[in-house]
Amino acid sequence: MLDMTRPILSICLILAVIAPAAAQAPAPFSAPADRLAGFADTAELALAAPLIVRATITRASRLSGKAAPDVAPGRARFLVTASVSNVLVAPATTGGTLQYLWDTPLDSRGRPPVVKGLDILAFLDKPKDDGSTRLMSRRGQQPWDSALADTVRAVVAEQRSGKVPIFRGVSNGFRADGTVPGESESQFFLTTSDGKPATLVVQNRPGEVRRVLVARGDIIDESAERVRPGTLLWYRLACFLPARLPSAAGGDDAALARDWRDALASLGPCGKTS
């Protein structure tokens, strides 16, 4: 009688030999070290890049050490060719193909990620006529993410509206107590790039969450805008105002200086890492 178990055992042995080899296949793109850590990183790139596109990498050629002697340890330099599928921001008409250098982190085995065919969001400088350009930073190439793209569009729209100034610092401030214990309001007059007035208003009321608002203009009323996280206004306040109130702006007043620190704490840390 024939032993029918031998073919089955042979097939199992073959599969067991093949399986480990399949596990060594190149991993898909991840490069977590170059991912944007939060809103501040995204806003910084979105504001700096003249060209922001969705594209697909059609070719990625690794340069030799002689051709890229300044590459940092643990990285490899690629010449990337990408086909544009959508333009989020552009200074003018943009061609359908772009080419740029990209320094990618290597994995623990010293291997670069496999990126051909990868859908990306790229933050780029203004391209030349031949389509050559450069990434705005080492984080200028990100895997495509629709939520990230929506954030970029919102930041750029706010910036183009002209309603959110660039804050340079704080020139003065004062504090007034309210009619009930624990109630107060502090106003800090901010300096801006456009020279127009801007006031940071801090309202403390018993039993309520501290309110941090920004008013534009000479009159501070109910039109003052509440600072919402994940906005250009929040980014420019949280990332560019001094951590401590300068003496020239009233920093020697302990209560006023405390309100300034509390206001920045209410905004939360900038979180910029790039």
- What is residue 32's predicted lDDT score, i.e. its pLDDT? 57
Share of the chain above pLDDT 90, in %: 70
Mark out the alpha helices in the chain (DSSP H runs): 5-23, 39-48, 146-161, 232-240, 254-267
SS3 267: helix
Asked if pLDDT for residue 128 goes beyond 90, the answer is yes
Q: Of 145-149, 180-184, 250-254, where does mean pLDDT reach its minimum?
A: 180-184
Angle, alpha carbons 235-238-242 (nearest 5°): 135
Lowest mean pLDDT among 1-15, 159-173, 246-260: 1-15
What confidence score (pLDDT) does residue 89 get? Answer: 95
pLDDT digits (tens, 9 = 90+) for 42-53: 999 999 999 999
Residues 6+ apart with CB under 8 A from 262: 202, 204, 210
Burial tier of 131 (Cβ tally within 10 Å: 0-12, 13-18, 19+): middle
What are the C-alpha distances in Å from 183 to residues 122, 202, 204, 264, 265?
Answer: 48, 11, 5, 19, 18
Q: Which residue has the tokens 């200086």?
A: 257
Q: What is the pTM of this model?
A: 0.81
Cα–Cα dist 51/140, whole Å? 11
Tokens for 262? 């509390």
pLDDT, position 178 = 86
Domain boundaries, the chain: 36-161, 167-267
Would you state the pLDDT for residue 95? Answer: 87
Band (221; pLDDT cuts 50, 70, 90): low
Q: What is the pLDDT of residues 176-213, one digit of tens each?
A: 988 888 899 999 999 999 888 899 999 988 888 888 99
In this predicted structure, the answer to whether residue 18 has a pLDDT above a threshold of 50 is no
The answer, yes or no, to whether residue 4 has pLDDT greater than 50, is: no
Residue 193's SS3 state is coil
Q: Is the pLDDT of residue 13 over 50?
A: no
Token pair belonging to 83: 């086909």
pLDDT at 33: 64
Say if residue 149's pLDDT is above 90: yes
* Of the candidates 230, 229, 196, the residue with the CA atom closest to the CA atom of residue 215: 196
43: left (phi over 0), alpha (psi -120 to 50) or beta: alpha
Beta-bridged to residue 137, according to DSSP, are: none
Determine the topology of domain 36-161 in CATH. Answer: OB fold (Dihydrolipoamide Acetyltransferase, E2P) (2.40.50)
Cβ partners under 8 Å of residue 263, min gap 6: 186, 188, 200, 202, 210, 212
Residue 223's pLDDT is 67
In whole numbers, what is the pLDDT of the chain averaged over residues? 86
What values do phi and psi take at 84, rounded to 5? Answer: -75, 130
Of 24-38, 92-106, 208-222, the range with the highest mean pLDDT is 92-106
Task: Look at 194 and 134; give whichever has higher pLDDT.
Answer: 134
SS3 236: helix
- Coil, helix or strand for 65? coil
Q: Give the neighbor-by-neighbor strand order of the sheet with 97-105.
A: 97-105, 75-89, 51-62, 119-124, 141-143
**∠151-154-157 over CA atoms, to 5°?**
150
Residue 58 is predicted with a pLDDT of 98
**Share of residues in the chain with pLDDT > 70 (%):** 86
